[in-house]
Amino acid sequence: MKNKYVDFISDKHLITCIAGLHKSYLKAKKNITKSSFYSNKVDTIKLTFDAKFNNIDEESLIQAEILRQIDKSINNSIGTFHEQILGGIEGFEVGNLSGFDIKATNETLFADIKNKHNTMNSSSAEALFQKLARYADDYKKAKCYWVQILAKNSFNELWKGEINGKEYSHSRVFKISGDQFYSLLSGQDDALFQLYKILPIAIKDYLNSIEQDKSTKSNSALDEIKKETKSSKRSILDQITFENYSYYLGFDKL
C-alpha cells in the first residue's frame, strides 16, 4: 500500500515523530510560569529599549519575550524531530545518547545532526571533528558526517580546514547539508522537500486524531506578574525588575 505522506518512512512513524514534537511544544508552554520565566534573569534594560524603540506596549513585550523563551526550548526539539525522522528510514537508527545521532545499522555511517549551521563555536567544532574522526578510525568502512539541517548551501563534501589554529582532515569525515543528508539516507533527491510539503497535512491529521486539552493554562507568567502589579502599583516592567533585582543597590526603591 502506498504511503499517504512521504515515500521514505511509514505514515505511522511520521505521525509518531509529530506527536513527540507536539509534546515538547506543550511542555515548553506549560513551563513558562513566572518562576521559570525569571530563572535565567530577565534583561529589563534591553526590554526597556525594545518597548520604547519598537513602540511596543509592556504586555505585548513580555508576551513576546515568553514566546522567545519557548522558541529557544523548541529549537532543540526540532533537531530531535529530524533525528527521529531519519532514524525511521530502513537501514538506519537513532543513537539514543550513544555519542552519535544517527548510524547505519551495518555501521557504515555515523552522523551528528545540528539543526542550524551556526550553532557551534570553534571549540565545539574541534571536538565534533575529533569525535567523528575517532568513529572513522574505529569503523574502517564508515563515513562520518556533520549534518547541518539548515545550511547556507546544498553540499556534501570532505570536512577539512583549520579549527583553533590546527589543520584537520580525514578521508571519511564529511560535512553535509540537510537536503543532501535526507537524500543520502532515503535514496530520494527530494526527500526533505517531500517532508516540508506534507507537514501541514500530517500535522492537521495528527491534531484531528487527538483530544486536545482546552483547559491547560499555558504561559501563566504574565498573568502572575499582572496580579502582583495590582497590589504593588508598579508597571509591568518595574515589577519584573523589582522581582529580579531588588537586591541591587537602589532597586528596592521601585
Sheet holding 92-94, edge to edge: 92-94, 102-104, 109-116, 143-150, 173-177, 156-158
Domains of the chain, residue spans? 1-78+190-254, 89-188
Q: What is the DSSP string of 54-87?
A: TT--HHHHHHHHHHHHHHHHHHHHHHHHHHHHHH
pLDDT for position 136 = 96
For domain 89-188, the CATH architecture is: 3-Layer(aba) Sandwich (3.40)
Residue 5 confidence (pLDDT) above 80: yes
pLDDT for position 216 = 55
pLDDT in tens, 108-147: 999 999 988 777 889 999 999 999 999 999 999 999 999 9
Range with the poorest average pLDDT among 104-108, 119-123, 184-188:
119-123
Q: What is the DSSP string of 212-254?
A: --TT----THHHHHHHHHHHH---HHHHHHHHHHTTSTTGGG-
pLDDT for position 215 = 54
pLDDT for position 213 = 62
Q: What is the pTM of this model?
A: 0.83
Confidence of residue 93 (pLDDT cuts 50, 70, 90): very high
Confidence of residue 29 (pLDDT cuts 50, 70, 90): confident
pLDDT in tens, 46-56: 999 999 999 99
pLDDT for position 121 = 87
Q: Point out which residues pair with 157 in neighbouring strands.
A: 175
